[in-house]
A and B are shown apart, each in its own frame.
Chain A
Amino acid sequence: MGTRYVVIFVVALTASVAVLLTGFRQITKPVADRNEEIFNKRAILSAVGDYLGEGMKVSDLQDDQVLGIFDEQVQQVTLDMQGNEIEGVKAEDIEMAKEKKKPSAERKLPLFIYSQGGEKFYIVSIRGVGLWDEIWGNIALKSDLNTIAGASFDHAGETPGLGAEIKDNSAFPRAFKEKEIFKDGEYVSINVRKGGAIDKKHEVDGITGATVTSDGVTDMLYDGIKNYIPYFNSIRQQSMR
């Protein structure tokens, strides 16, 4: 078999495979994209999972219900790093993974304000690194902008049973409830402590065997929530006036 045959064969094979896969992707794309949107919105809502209304759980919500709640009860705000609102960009269209690669001054921040029964919850998106890959999450703050109402985490490739527990073990995000990010007026975030929380108001228990992931969550929380502080301060000033 000559070189010519080899070249023709390989080109023909790769071309046909490429056409096949692109075609398949194009056909499945609309459904796959909608699945992704619902998946992301569900993750955001699970941060306020305890405030969805009587007896409702995020895991029981139908796909349409998720989209409905988002349309009716969630106000989307896009912020720049100075805490100013940016017009014309929907918060749900911001990809945190892309924002993280930009220089820090140019990043955009998504903020979801969820209203339920007259109370407002501020859901912030944060992103960091675990042991193997990126980790991310959504943290819901009560309207005092200090107390955590709920949290949800996810990861790209943490070890199942260890680092992956930040998502798989519902007790981990639940531990963040009612913790406070300010200590005597100073921003301290929440610390994930190896060996167990000491300061019950600002710390949660670390995951045994997943110290690097736990530390990653601590760093992600500190750096991530910090970005929103300028905006929170401006809200506080407005309400004081």
Chain B
Amino acid sequence: MAETLEKTAAKTAEPLFGKKEKKLLTDPLNDNNPITVQVLGICSALAVTSLVWPSLVMAIAVIFVCAFSNLFTSLLRTYIPKQVRMIVQLVIIASLVTLVELTLKYLNYPVYKQLSVYIGLIITNCIVMGRLEAFAMANKPWRSFLDGIGNGLGYGAILVMVGVIREIFGKGSLFASSPFEWKIIGPSAEYSIDTTTSWMFGWYANNNLMVLSAAAMFIIGIMIWIQRSYNKKLVDVS
């Protein structure tokens, strides 16, 4: 009798979506961002962000893989043998990534063709495995799931931000090679601002550095700088 009482008490103390759960979602967006604070997942952040559209699809795919690999790992956490836990985690991640690939092939083949290389790269994304090791192996399924979504969002937000900056200044467009392509500034009549005829922007040329991966390194570096200048919690005082 006393036991059941305790259990119900514990349950009411842990609401489905309380302060702690909310923090799991918001923390990775700023204070514990996987890219700008933990500096994980940099490889794909450099590789896919030259255009917004691939960055966005990549972000969605990572949110999915991160959330569900966290969920499944957490469900299995008491059964996973410690000696082979990394291999088990990798099996879970790899199958989810394959699932994403197959779904894309089914739903939208052109997008699959465009992104197949990057989707495969999710398996090697340290953020996913990092969350499994650091969080899902020690927490309950629902919270792990939220943690996965939060970290995926934190990663995706940076990816899309870098993508927007790189595409606007590198190519003068937004969402290129997607159905919502918007050509903003460039040297032909297809663009909203045509630099060949505009009297104001005749001098403008795209910055070719922005197209190269190195540009993402600079942009992420500047982002880290800005974030640290206003978020004093992140500054290591020791």
Spell out A's residues near B (CB within 8 Å): 1, 5-6, 9-10, 13-14, 17, 20-21, 24-25, 28, 31-32, 35-36, 38-39, 133, 154, 156-157, 159-162, 168, 208-209
Q: A6-B83, A39-B110, A154-B113 are in contact. List 10 more A-B contacts (CB 8 A).
A: A13-B91, A24-B99, A32-B105, A32-B109, A39-B113, A133-B117, A157-B117, A159-B211, A160-B54, A209-B211
CA A169 to CA B212, docked complex, whole Å? 17
CB atoms of A168 and B176 under 8 A apart = yes
Residues in A whose Cβ lies below 8 Å from that of B37: none
Q: Is the CB of A209 within 8 A of B212?
A: yes
Is B81 part of the binding interface, using a Cβ–Cβ cutoff of 8 Å?
yes
Pair A24/B91 contact, Cβ less than 8 Å:
no
Residues of B close to A24: CB separation below 8 A? 99, 102
**Smallest CB-CB A-B distances: 6 pairs:** A35-B109, A161-B211, A28-B106, A161-B50, A32-B105, A6-B81
Q: Complex Cα distance A163/B163, Å? A: 18
B196 at the interface (CB under 8 A from A): no
**In the complex, are the beta carbons of B211 and A21 less than 8 A apart?**
no
Q: Note all chain A residues with C-beta closer than 8 A to B110.
A: 39
**Shortest Cβ distance from residue B230 to the other chain A in the assembled complex, whole angstroms:** 31
Q: In terms of DSSP, what is the predominant structure of the interface of chain A?
A: helix
Cα–Cα, bound, A14→B102 (Å):
18
- Set A28, A36, A38, A159: member contacting B102, Cβ < 8 A: A28
**Inter-chain contacts of A133 with B (CB < 8 A):** 117
Which B residues are CB-close (under 8 A) to A157? 117
Query: Nearest residue in B to A33 (C-beta to C-beta)?
Result: B105
Residues from chain A with Cβ under 8 Å of B80 in the complex: 9
Q: Indicate with 1 or 0, residue by residue over B175-189, a CB within 8 angstroms of chain A CB atoms.
A: 011000000000000
Point out the residue from B48, B88, B170 that lies within 8 Å of A10, measured CB to CB: B88
Q: Does B197 contact A (CB under 8 A)?
A: no
Residues of B within 8 A of A28 (CB): 102-103, 105-106
Complex contacts, B38 vs chain A, CB 8 Å: none
**A156-B117, A160-B51, A161-B51 given as contacts; is B84 within 8 A of A25 (CB)?**
no
- Asked if A25 and B170 sit within 8 Å, CB to CB, the answer is no
B102 touches A32 (CB 8 A): yes
- Name 11 interchain pairs, CB-CB below 8 A, sorted by A: A17-B91, A21-B102, A28-B103, A32-B102, A32-B105, A39-B109, A39-B113, A154-B113, A156-B116, A160-B54, A161-B50
Query: In whole angstroms, how far apart are the Cα atoms of A17 and B87 in the complex?
Result: 13
Which residues in A have their C-beta under 8 angstroms from that of B171? 161
Are A6 and B84 touching (Cβ within 8 A)?
A: yes
- Give Cα distance in the complex from A123 to B226, angstroms: 54
In the bound complex, do residue A36 and residue B109 qualify as a contact, i.e. CB atoms below 8 Å apart?
yes
A160 touches B50 (CB 8 A): yes
List the A side residues contacting B231 at CB < 8 Å: none
Q: Is B82 on the interface with A (CB-CB < 8 A)? A: yes
Contact partners of A10 in chain B: CB under 8 A: 81, 84, 87-88
B79 contacts partner chain A, Cβ-Cβ < 8 Å: yes
Which residues on the A side are within 8 Å of B113 (C-beta)?
39, 154
